[in-house]
Copies of this chain bind each other. A is one copy, B any other.
């Protein structure tokens, strides 16, 4: 995607390898929409931290970042006498950065499947992975755009744009592709507390001048009851054997509401999000994140003229912050994938073959 960084237009993925300095770089997603900044990860530990701290987020982008991070470890320890144990430790560290997105593990396992591999070739594989994910985003857009028609109102949740999927986006890709075809429609963007990823979605839609309105997460049912939502499209962080999905907390609420109002509910995702080894949504471990994501928010203070972090709550309360929830297959109308719009777990199984050489 093209980004304007301090007046300079760069055309980059969400995460990439800087050839000149042999470091991983990524667009810092914690500062958007206020500042567009590039973060440099000097070691695989920095990359793991960037995943953990959500400087990079979105399941497919995390997968690419993990693959690059793993290459950094190979680069760092190549020729070392404890190479194998150090690499094993790096694998574990990167894997532990975010537990829910299967893409992370898929990214690491993809690199590992070529072992033994030298740093230069490992890097080629990581780049190919990132390029393939980006190409899948483009494909998802072309396939999914057929669902979108003039005058539709579409609801989306969380952030599934180019920055979340290396490039092009997952759930946003069909929206952008349909817009570029000249279709006229409108998107409701869920705020997506606690991390307010809706502001990133709004920011990406604004880059394309796509009609959109931001709403709080609790407004979806009211809009559906008024007939103002024609379709839900959102992403996925993990899609398992029986077709259940894990996705950003709040997805399940929307799915139940969509069913109640007979609103079609679509999830869009690339290959790396599919997890054929997990049977059902019940088997997915849901990540509980820090209370501070609820109690503190970052935004721009016009008085201080800078980004400021404030506390929203008083003392004496407990908080619970599950980052994802599970939506069962029977609430899902269709899966928008690079292979078409699939509608059953059998189709998912047929089309999603493990990534190989």
Taking beta carbons and an 8 Å cutoff, which residues of A are in contact with B? 32-34, 188-189, 191-194, 196, 199, 202-203, 205-206, 212-222, 225, 249-250, 252-253, 256-257, 259-260, 294, 296-304, 308-322, 325-326
Contacts and interface: CB of A to CB of B under 8 A. Distances in A.
A260 B260 CA distance: 9
Contacts of A321: 215-216
Contacts of A199: 312-314
A91 B320 CA distance: 44
B219 A320 contact: yes
A220 to B, nearest CB: 7
B218 A249 contact: yes
13 contacts: A206-B317, A212-B318, A213-B317, A213-B318, A214-B294, A214-B319, A221-B256, A222-B322, A257-B257, A297-B312, A301-B309, A301-B310, A308-B310
Contact of A222 (B294, B319, B325): B325
B216 A193 contact: yes
Given A206-B316, A256-B256, 6 more contacts: A191-B193, A191-B294, A199-B312, A215-B319, A221-B256, A301-B310
Contacts of A320: 188, 213-215, 219
B311 A302 contact: yes
Contact of A33 (B215, B225, B314, B319): B314
